Chain A
Amino acid sequence: MKQVALEYHRSVGRYLAGRAITGTRLGGRAAGSVAAGLAPLRVVQRPDPTLPASGWTRVRPLLSGICGSDLGLLTGRNSPYLASLVSMPFVPGHEVVGETLDELDGLPRGSRVVLDSVLGCVTRGLTPCASCAAGKHGRCDNITTGHLAPGIQTGYCADTGGGWSRQFVAHRTQLHAVPDELTDEAAVLVEPLACAIHAVRRADVPTDATVLVIGAGTVGLLTVLALRAFTKAGPIMVIAKHARQRERARELGATEVIGSDRALRTLRRKTGGFVVKPEIGEEFLLGGADVSFDCTSGSGLTTATRATKAGGTVVMAGMPNTDVDLTPVWFRELTIVGGYASSGEDFPDAISLAQDAPLGGYVDAVYSLRRWSEAIQHATSAGRLGSMKVVFNPRLD
């Protein structure tokens, strides 16, 4: 059997060209077109993936999200750091709700599942490393070895396939059954929600702390949701660019939503302190938020470090892909915390939170795989177009 998939292949030329173009100001604005035109992505007919070992199942994706990190990949913005942690060619797609096609322990064939895409020791047939043993498989050290090709997650690994296809394989430990009440559209948000919950838990937000969330895309909004659900944060201020995002942020519990140009000034009014403008470079605050979450693909990190009060915490919730002046981290004695993927109870908590949260309408743009180029363009300017999450439905033609 052969099946249709979107495959990311190795093309140094396209990678560098994409990176070069989107690195410029004008190219950055046209990132969608660049990604659609230059990305080393193609529709392929490829054999169905084979099960690598027992404990694995084939999964048929029902909906498969396009994540910010995917876009970074396609535009060449992602850091080369990650290049050796993937194996090519691979099929992207790690935000997946699907149906299992094989019987597994406690997971009958045909179960509706969501995917925890991290490929840790267990999935690779290895004795769990210290991190995996502690339930923190996101920190696994063995992502390049074992019986799978290297790859940090499903969607970056040549052997597993990925969500942007009609079929891929997943290990039992990666799969979480979805209760019937949860629609496909909500379920496809479970993976990013789990990441958001993870990031929020990484920060240890003090009671009544002033929190700044930079960016109101999927990650930003779900971070607000997670903050309200799992912390006793005080005022949450969200920097949002687009009107629809502002509404969503308020719905989810943001105290104040600010435009990106006024962020520092508004924050100063709320938290006190001084705005200082260096002769070169951006303004910063003496004072500011207790905890900041950068939920952008890196561009918000500068703001985060400049808007967080001395001794505060900056959480990197989105995948960073820009250089940042770290002087404020040193001078303000900031704690920078990374928040990658999820661990422990994050996924089950995400599933239960997704059932209650007002996430209706988040998935409002569904594309077939063949229309990937449009889908990517749409996803790149989702905020501007009022969309929260753009997904593939691989079953569509």
Chain B
Amino acid sequence: MSRPGFVLEVDERTPALLMHQGEGFRLEKLPMGSRVIYPPESLPGLRDVDEEIRKALAAPVGRPPLSELLYAGMRLTIVFDDLSLPLPQMQTPDIRQRVIEHVLEAAAAKGVDDVELIAGNALHRRMTPAELKRTVGDRVYRSFFPHHLKNHDAEDKENLKEIGHTRHGEVVEINRRAAESDLIVYVNITLTPMSGGPKSVSVGLASYRSLKHHHNVQTLRNSKSFNDPPNSAMHHSYNRMAALLAENVNVFQIETTVNNDMFPKQMDFLNKREWEWNLKDQAAFLAVRRANELVPPAKRRQIWHRTAAPYGITGVNAGAPEDVHPITLKNVLRQQLTEVNGPSDIGIWGLPYICPYNVNSIMNPILVMSLSLGYLFNMYQNQPIVRPGGVAIFYHPVPNEFHSVHHPSYIDFFEEVLAETTDPVAIETKFEEQFATDPWYIHLYRNSYAYHGVHPLYMWYWGAHALEHLGDVIFVGGDRKTTERMGFRSASTLQDALEMARERVGSSPTITYQHTPPIAMADVR
């Protein structure tokens, strides 16, 4: 049985705690009395995933069985979550592959010829053929690539279709092929409470025109947090869009959830509670950490990104998006939610080597910002784990490194925009249009493997709520120049960071460390 999550209070018995720090990790001794949020232990995975898929497709919620929705001569579009999920990548076979194979099996049985598979990558970079193959599996890839297995292209004007406007005037525009299909089957992995459900089609297949209604500073500042859909302005917008979509297209949503097994067996200690480390775990920690230091940086990154997670699947559910998603969310929260008693003065997070936008790539400073102030800060319900005006301390080296193919507009954003201002509103007002419509960025998004020009700005907006909420942001071990450019501070040790935080929170602050990964979601009462 996996144990529930809990909040540890550091006492003299507490050993040094594990902290992720970019492409590496360390142990850190936290001050006495600090709270540490541990997520529930990894839930057991389903024994027979294929059987569960079969069941889900045969008895969906809010929809007839999939086989009854399929018929010869129909247009079927299968859309799947792109490379940004799950993190880290899943050991093959990917759950998307398994689900898609079942769907195709059913479609073949019904004689459906017109099938198209689309990665729901929105403004993310296109997936490379190798990445597509890894995700959908060899059989699917060979049968459909390249003509019927594609990335969504949000700048292919001809292949976008405006569905209409929501009552708030938001334009809903999605991939034309999907919009004109008799059935969209969406195959999803819901890793955090933020994703899946109404977001899947309305965001995954949308264009900049449509996305800008929810990907903006105003909305994100009112999403508290964006991982808590009922309290997220962003999700309210998704819901309106999804409702409009529901009137116009037929979506059959298949949602899957994974447990917290994010690291392979050899690195088991990363999944264990520190006081339960046995000698083997301690030796493994030392060995892996020291070896990690020895490896040249480029090789180290490659190794980390190649390390796939042995996730167990905790749920497969299918049906109407609005009916399936609550079940899925329950599954996600079952794995991630830990109740916490009130916020503290200082929040601490260790940042791992990966975020949704640097799979097989480089975690550049902007992505560090979006991972820390965006994703991790927002892993809460009710209220942030840091009080308003408190201090966030993150562990990451924040090197000034960019992937020139994947993140061209990020480089310009960092060099030019951040040199001028770090205020999300100012950035939105002055630069969004420029970055979103720059023909070169569009060209690279469409033809190379670049994130859309506007994407770095979105990343900055992700942190808008945290920027407004926090009094100071300090990166332990962060590159001084880079953090300074982003308006943050760097400290060489935790002691220095706490010293720097004193001016905001006094000399005996309350401290909470959100122990993640694996993903921990705090329910702060």
The short answer to whether A and B are in direct contact, CB under 8 Å, is: yes
Residues of B within 8 A of A274 (CB): 439-440, 443
Q: Is A173 close to B, CB under 8 A?
A: no
Q: Which residues of A contact B411 (CB under 8 A)?
A: 262, 265
Whether A272 pairs with B439 at a CB distance below 8 angstroms is: yes
Query: Which B residues touch A275, using CB under 8 A?
Result: 408, 440
A273 an interface residue at 8 Å Cβ cutoff?
Answer: yes
B416 at interface by CB-CB < 8 Å: yes
1/0 per residue B430-473: CB within 8 Å of A?
00000000111001000000000000000000000000000000
* List of B residues within 8 angstroms of A272 by Cβ: 439-440
Q: Confirm or deny: B131 has a beta carbon within 8 angstroms of a beta carbon on chain A.
A: no
Q: B416, B439, B440 — which one has the most chain A CB atoms within 10 A of its CB? A: B440
Cα A275 to Cα B450 with chains together (Å): 13
Residues of B within 8 A of A269 (CB): 412, 416, 438
A242 to nearest B CB, angstroms? 16
What's the minimum C-beta distance from A144 to chain B, rounded to whole angstroms?
Answer: 50
Task: Report the nearest A residue to B405, measured CB to CB.
Answer: A277
Provide the bound-state CA to CA distance between A291 and B19, in Å: 53
Residue of B with least CB distance to A283? B404
Min distance, Cβ A271 to any Cβ of chain B, angstroms: 11
What's the least CB distance linking A33 to chain B, in Å?
30
Complex CA gap A266/B415 in Å reads: 9
A274 to B447 alpha-carbon distance, docked (Å): 13
A270 shortest CB reach to chain B, Å:
9
Partner of A262, one of B415, B438, B443: B415
* B137 CB, nearest partner CB in chain A, Å: 32
Q: CB distance B440 to A273 under 8 Å?
A: yes
Mask, A119-132, CB within 8 Å of B = 1, is 00000000000000
**A255 nearest CB across to chain B (Å):** 13
Q: For the complex, what is the distance from the CA of A272 to the CA of B439, rounded to whole Å?
A: 8
A to B contact number (C-beta, < 8 Å) = 21
The answer to whether B415 touches A268, judged by C-beta atoms less than 8 angstroms apart, is no
Contact A265 B412 (CB under 8 A): yes
Residues of the A chain whose Cβ atoms lie less than 8 Å from the Cβ of B408: 265, 275
B443→A265 contact, CB < 8 A = no
Chain A residue contacts of B415, Cβ below 8 A: 262, 265-266
Complex Cα distance A268/B443, Å? Answer: 14
Chain A residues within an 8 Å CB radius of B440: 268, 272-275
Min CB–CB distance B365 → chain A (angstroms): 15
Q: Determine the main DSSP class of A at the interface with B.
A: helix
Q: Tell me, in angstroms, the Cα distance from A262 to B414 when the chains sit together.
A: 11
Chain A hits for B416, CB < 8 A: 266, 269
Chain A, 246-270, contact with B by CB distance < 8 Å: what is the 0/1 string? 0000000000000000100110110
Interface digits, B409-421 against A, CB 8 Å rule (1 contact, 0 not)?
Answer: 0011001100000
CA distance A262 to B411 in the complex (A): 9
Taking a contact as CB atoms under 8 Å apart, the answer to whether A266 and B412 are in contact is: yes
Q: How far is the CA of A38 from the CA of B84 in the complex (A)?
A: 58
Provide the bound-state CA to CA distance between A209 and B440, in Å: 22
A110 to B415, CA, bound (A): 54
Q: Which residue of A lies closest to B440 (CB)?
A: A274
Instruction: Determine how close the nearest CB of chain A comes to the CB of B413; give it in whole angstroms.
Output: 10
Cα distance, A268 to B415, chains bound together (Å): 13
Determine the residue in chain B with the shortest Cβ distance to A259.
Answer: B415
Q: Whole-angstrom distance from the CB of B160 to the nearest CB of chain A?
A: 23
How far does the Cβ of B436 sit from chain A's closest Cβ, in whole Å? Answer: 14
Q: Which residue of A lies closest to B435 (CB)?
A: A269
What residue of chain B has the Cβ atom nearest to residue A268's Cβ?
B440
In the complex formed, the residue of B with least CB distance to A276 is B440
Q: Would you give the shortest CB distance from A282 to chain B, in whole angstroms?
A: 13
Bound state CA distance, A274 and B415, in angstroms?
18
CA A269 – CA B413 in complex, angstroms? 10
**Distance of A269 Cα from B408 Cα, bound (Å):** 11
A322 CB to closest chain B CB (Å) equals: 25
Most buried by B among A268, A269, A274, A275: A269
In the complex formed, the residue of B with least CB distance to A285 is B440
CB distance from A263 to the nearest CB of B (A): 11
Task: Using CB atoms, name the residue of chain A closest to B448.
Answer: A277
Contacts of A268 in B (CB 8 A): 440
Cα distance A67–B412 in the bound complex, in angstroms: 35
- Point out the residues of chain B lying under 8 angstroms from A273, CB to CB: 440
Q: How far is the CA of A269 from the CA of B416 in the complex (A)?
A: 9
Within 8 A of B (CB), among A272-298: 272-275
Q: What's the least CB distance linking B10 to chain A, in Å?
A: 44
Which chain A residues border B443 with CB–CB below 8 Å? 274
CA distance A322 to B412 in the complex (A): 30
Q: Considering the chains assembled together, what is the distance between the CA atoms of A182 and B438 in angstroms?
A: 49
Chain A min CB distance to B194 (Å) = 32
When C-beta atoms are compared, the residue in chain B nearest to A262 turns out to be: B415
Interface centre among A262, A265, A268, A275 (most CB of B within 10 A): A265
- Please give the distance in Å from B108's CB to the nearest CB on chain A: 42
Report Cα–Cα, A200/B439, bound state, in Å. 32
State the Cβ distance, B506 to closest chain A Cβ, in Å. Answer: 38
Which residues on the B side are within 8 Å of A266 (C-beta)? 412, 415-416
Quote the shortest CB–CB distance from B210 to chain A (angstroms).
26
Q: How far is the CB of B36 from chain A (nearest CB, A)?
A: 42
Minimum distance in angstroms from A260 CB to a CB of chain B = 13
Nearest opposing residue in chain A for B413, CB measure: A269
Considering only residues 116-141 of chain B, those with a C-beta below 8 Å from chain A are none
- Residues of chain A contacted by B439 (CB below 8 angstroms): 272, 274
B270 to chain A minimum Cβ distance, whole angstroms, is 36
B441 CB to closest chain A CB, in angstroms?
A: 10
A273 to chain B: closest residue by CB = B440
Bound CA span A262–B408, Å: 12
Q: Nearest-CB distance from A241 to chain B (Å)?
A: 16
CA distance A268 to B438 in the complex (A): 10
Q: Give the CA-CA distance A265 to B413 in the complex, in Å.
A: 11
Bound CA span A299–B183, Å: 60
**A275-B440 Cα distance, complex, nearest whole Å:** 8
A273 to B438, CA, bound (A): 9
Bound together, the chains give a CA A269 to CA B438 distance in angstroms of 9
* In the bound complex, CA of A268 to CA of B416 (Å): 12
* CB proximity of B480 to chain A, nearest CB, Å: 16
Q: Which of B390-425 contact A (CB under 8 A)?
A: 408, 411-412, 415-416
**Please, could you name 18 A-B residue pairs with CB atoms under 8 Å apart, sorted by A?**
A262-B411, A265-B411, A265-B412, A265-B415, A266-B412, A266-B415, A266-B416, A268-B440, A269-B412, A269-B416, A269-B438, A272-B439, A273-B440, A274-B439, A274-B440, A274-B443, A275-B408, A275-B440
Knowing that A265-B408, A265-B415 are A-B contacts, what are 6 other residue pairs whose CB atoms are under 8 Å apart, sorted by A's residue number?
A: A262-B411, A266-B416, A269-B412, A269-B416, A272-B440, A273-B440
In the A-B complex, the 9 residue pairs with the smallest Cβ-Cβ separation, listed nearest first, are A274-B440, A269-B412, A262-B415, A265-B412, A269-B416, A265-B411, A274-B443, A268-B440, A275-B440
